[in-house]
Amino acid sequence: MDLLIFDMDGVLIDVSRSYRKTIQQTIHIYLKHVLGLQADPVSNEEIGLFKSTGGFNNDWDLTTGFLLYLLSISGIPPLPRRKRFSSPDVIVLYLRQSLTNFCQKETLRIKRDHLVSFLEQVKASGGGLKGVRSVQKGLWDGWIYSSGDLAIENLVKRIFQEIYLGEKFSTHHHLQSLFYKDKGLYLREKLLIQRNILSSLHRKMRLGIASGRPRLEAELALKRFKIFHYFDSVVTLDECEEEEKKIFLSTGRKLKLSKPHPFSILKAIQAMDLPHPRCGYVGDVVDDMRAARAARKQFDVLAIGFLSRLSRRKEIKATLLQAGADWIIEKPNQLLRLHFG
């Protein structure tokens, strides 16, 4: 093998106490502080069920999809159209006023069987946020402000970024934190693949990254764990979005280039400029496996599933194999058994 490319979250970096907790806290803050609703905490398993549906490589999309699901079972009346406003404060005031006559009778609780059934419908409708909206016919879209400018109306992304980045939110986005004042949850992350293993791999082959993280957050982790120098190419959400804009401006077509689209993997391979490389892509969710398989139209790519979690291993392994994994690894040192040369 000439080239090994990694996903970051759940592969290089343990995000169980960062991104996963950020999803949970964003949902809690949006329901309680934006809408005034009480709900039981969302579990890691429930987030995992969303991830395994496919199309939720972007955590902002997953958070939005989960909120839409919760609203659909909350008893709140549908609100299909979203009004435009000039600031987060005005949006919160509008949503609270819209719920003045709604009386929540009991704490919102998720029934696993119902969630599984809902996600099966989402999967049959193409997966991802588009699948959620298709199943719901867009009836609750007006309650969730999850697109547009971060400073004005994208409340989901703003809350998410405030929680994940903490004090770095104001520095990077030049905005005041409105919903969260504590330390950023990125500080809870841990390295999953030890430096000595990455060092051994780096001596034998070229390494790259194809991640759904924004570049700021990818570099934040790579520098913090002192592993940036092991990787010859790093492709992030920023590059996907830049290419999406170029395509839209030149053709008028709106494409989604984040995984399961193979764009980030292909771009990471192309950046190496190797003739006919034999490649591996290491990921932990179905979108990673599908992206690696799709990349085979241009390169020889092995889809490698990585089991980093201790729970639901058999179920996750079966899901990854069904999604097209060629090989499953359960421990990072198994990467050293790859054939080099």
Contact present, 162 and 179 (Cβ < 8 Å): yes
- Taking only the tens place, the pLDDT of each residue in 150-182 is 999 999 999 999 999 999 999 999 999 999 999
129, 65 Cβ separation under 8 angstroms: yes
User: Residue 337's pLDDT is what?
Assistant: 87
Closest CA to 142 of 184, 79, 189: 79
Task: Take residue 2 and report the two structure tokens written for it.
Answer: 């000439």
Cα(230)–Cα(60) distance, integer angstroms: 28
Instruction: Determine the pLDDT at residue 78.
Output: 95
**At how many degrees (to 10) do helices 313-322 and 44-53 cross?**
10
pLDDT of residue 310: 65
The pTM assigned to this predicted structure is 0.91
Please state, in angstroms and rounded to a whole number, the distance separating the CA atoms of residues 298 and 296.
Answer: 5
Task: Give the span between the Cα atoms of 26 and 42, in whole angstroms.
Answer: 10
For residues 4 and 201, is the Cβ–Cβ distance under 8 A?
yes
What local confidence, expressed as pLDDT, does residue 339 receive? 67
CA-based torsion, 50, 319, 206, 195: positive or negative: positive
> Each residue's pLDDT tens digit in the chain (341 positions)?
899 999 999 999 999 999 999 999 999 999 999 999 999 999 999 999 999 899 998 999 999 999 999 999 999 999 999 999 999 999 999 999 999 989 888 899 999 999 999 999 999 999 999 999 999 999 999 999 999 999 999 999 999 999 999 999 999 999 999 999 999 999 999 999 999 999 999 999 999 999 999 999 999 999 999 999 999 999 999 999 999 999 999 999 999 999 999 999 999 999 999 999 999 999 999 999 999 999 999 999 999 999 987 667 888 999 999 999 999 999 999 999 876 54
Predicted pLDDT at 133: 97
* Angle at alpha carbon of residue 281, lines to 280 and 285, rounded to 5°: 145
d(CA 109, CA 219): 37
- 249/245 Cα distance (integer angstroms): 6
The predicted pLDDT at position 105 comes to: 84
pLDDT the model gives residue 308: 81
Task: Write down the H helix ranges in the chain.
Answer: 19-29, 44-53, 59-72, 88-98, 112-124, 128-136, 155-165, 168-173, 195-204, 215-224, 237-251, 263-272, 286-294, 313-322
